[in-house]
Structure 1
Amino acid sequence: MTVKFDDRDAVAHGKITEKPLRERPSVPTWALKLTMAVTGVIFGLFVLVHMIGNLKIFMPAHDGVHHIDEYAEFLRTMLMPLFPYGGVLWIFRIVLLICLVLHVYGAFAIKARAAQSRGKFKRTGMMGGLNTFTTRSMLVTGVVLLAFIIFHILDLTIGATPIASDTFAHGAAYANLVASFSRPAVAIFYIIAMVVLFLHLSHGIWTAVSDLGITGKRWRAVLLFIAYLVPAAVMVGNSLIPLSIMLGILS
């Protein structure tokens, strides 16, 4: 950023400067925002599909087999024998991990550049309300979600102690969910994380609409509706699982 002014005396006396407030970055800010928009859309699609798969826990078992266990096995056997057992699932995991690293790096890089460019001057004149709250808390909600992702993987994917339940067993998706959410603290943390996800994802999708250059009035109206509908559906759908287990509906 360069400040320009035609008063040479003011420049000479140091009242204003033509020096850049920060060095030119190796990766332009527009590229970081575009990367965050694309990776954010990928995460939005992932959590939606993941939620739909998780809701299979409410389907009645047949021949003693739960539908969610069949779904978990389907993910591991997908496209066999073209891919080895679990191969496609690991491709998904690697892609999501790369997206996560890029998304987190972009968030902190843009935040640091904005603070450096503004210097001691803070943003003013914001209108208030939910949109302003989500805007200002994006970094905080992002950190909370990152902590939740790590906890979720240790709890229901890896089964690491002492995070996971004592009865964790690989491949037993139904039993692992019931055992994990039978612990009230874990169930409440999961529900809180879903509320945080709603705040972060709703604002993130709407920001991605602008960063991806979608400017049509009708398209923006439709996508603004989607920006709240999808995160709300994910929040409600995923929260029903720990609530149902805590209330004894699922056991």
Structure 2
Amino acid sequence: MTVKNADRDAIVHGKITEKPLRERPSYPTWAIKLVMAVTGLIFGLYVLVHMVGNLKIYMPDHNGIAAINEYGEFLRTMGAPVLPRESFLWLFRIVLLAAIVLHIHGAFALHGRSRVSRGKFARTNLVGGLNTFSSRTMLITGIILLLFIVFHILDLTMGVTPAAPEAFVHGEIYANLIASFSRWPVAIFYILAMVVLFLHLSHGIWLAVSDLGITGKRWRKALLVVAYLVPAIVMIGNISMPLSIALGWLS
């Protein structure tokens, strides 16, 4: 054990030590948790707004142009003429990229510290339920979502085959969605990824509530509802699109 003002004879005989049990980390755990909470909430807000924008696929055409295509053009020209074309879009992408790098680094850092701290005295299966399952699989669901993000960018942003269909055309968002989700394996992969997103995001929001120091009973009850309601809305909204296209309801 570690003590202060130790008996020198006891130290010589190896019974006690003045050395710390483990080295002090470069960054405190609370700081890493805070960064993960903030970056996680950024992604939570992003996927919600992204889902709302993508739901324009259900809106009627305007002057022969698909509503979601108009929305995509609006994002590319946001800030014009003050900013060059796609400047805002690239600024937003850089922020998201920085956030995901910090989030991934924090996840692995906390996972490593947790394993070192528990050592051989790790306790498992003490409680059950969805929340506990989500907690135990946060790292796994995070890795799955990272793979999904890479595939999603290759498929619907960059149009790189074989992730994207051969018919991919830059700027034709509606047609690209139809072509991509008409492939049943891709549609199923997107649907499963949204279920994983629900598990990861719901538990992540609840962790962020604690890490941000929100302790009031009323606030915690309200935010517990938000932690499950918002990810559920995102999941249902995002699943409806590939499912509607794969079943032929949209074409």
Normalising by structure 1, what TM-score? 0.93
TM-score (norm 2): 0.93
Name the CA distance, whole Å, in 1 between partners of 2:233 and 2:171: 26
Q: What's 1:67 paired with?
A: 67
Q: 1:55 to 1:115 in 2, by over 3 A?
A: same
Which ranges in structure 1 are unaligned for 5 or more consecutive residues?
none
Deviation by residue 1:98-152 (Cα, 9 ceiling, x = unmatched):
0000000000001001111222221346321111100000000000000000000
Q: Residue 105 of structure 1 corresponds to which residue in structure 2?
A: 105
Equivalenced residues, count: 250
| Cα distance, 1:5–1:234 mapped onto 2, change above 3 Å | same
Cα separation, 2, equivalents of 1:87 and 1:132? 42
Letter in 2 for 1:173: I
Asked whether the 8 Å contact 2:156–2:177 carries over to 1, the reply is: yes
Q: In the superposition, relative to structure 1, how do residues 207 and 17 fare at CA in structure 2: closer, same or farther (>3 Å)?
A: farther
The code of the aligned residue for 1:231 comes to P
Equivalent pair of 1:205/1:227 in contact (CA under 8 Å): yes
Q: Does 1:205 align with 2:199?
A: no
Q: Return 5+ residue gaps in structure 2 as ranges.
A: none
CA distance in 2, matches of 1:10, 1:54: 69
Counterpart amino acid of residue 121 in structure 1: F
Shift in alpha-carbon separation, 1:165–1:10, aligned structure 2, 3 A: farther
Alignment partner of 1:119: what SS?
helix
Listed one character per residue, the Cα deviations across residues 182-236 of structure 1 (whole Å, up to 9, x for unaligned) are: 1111000000000000000000000000000111111111100000000000000
Equivalent residue, structure 2, for 1:185: 185
Q: Which moved more, 1:217-226 or 1:4-13?
A: 4-13
Cα deviation, residue 244, structure 1: 0.1
Shift of 1:12: 7.3
Secondary structure of the residue aligned to 1:120 is helix
> In percent, how many aligned pairs have the same letter?
68
Give the Å deviation of 1:3. Answer: 5.3
Q: Indicate the residue corresponding to 2:247 in structure 1.
A: 247
Amino acid aligned to 2:213: G
Does the C-alpha gap of structure 1 residues 19 and 174 become closer, same or farther in structure 2, counting only changes over 3 Å? same
Give, in angstroms, the shift of residue 10 of structure 1. Answer: 9.1
Specify the alignment match of 1:87 in structure 2.
87
> Residue 217 of structure 1 corresponds to which residue in structure 2?
217
| Partner secondary structure for residue 24 of structure 2 | coil
CA contact (8 A) 1:126 1:132 kept: no
Q: For 1:11 and 1:127, how far apart are their aligned partners in 2?
A: 41
Cα–Cα, structure 1 residues 102 and 6, in superposed 2: closer, same or farther, change >3 Å?
same
> Map of 1:45-194 to 2, 5 A cutoff?
45-124=45-124, 126-194=126-194
Which one-letter code corresponds to 1:76 in the other structure?
R
Matched residue, 1:41: 41
**Which amino acid counterpart does residue 36 of structure 1 have in structure 2?**
M
2:82 counterpart letter in structure 1: L
Looking at structure 1, the residues matched to 116 and 19 of structure 2 have their Cα atoms a distance apart, in angstroms, of 13
How large is the RMSD of aligned CA atoms in angstroms?
A: 2.1
1:18 Cα shift?
5.9
Structure 1 residue 4: deviation in Å? 5.4
Q: Where does 1:225-236 land on structure 2 (aligned, <5 Å)?
A: 225-236=225-236
Instruction: Return the letter of the residue paired with 2:146.
Output: L
8 Å CA contact 1:40, 1:103 repeated in 2:
yes
Deviates more, 1:209-218 or 1:121-130: 121-130
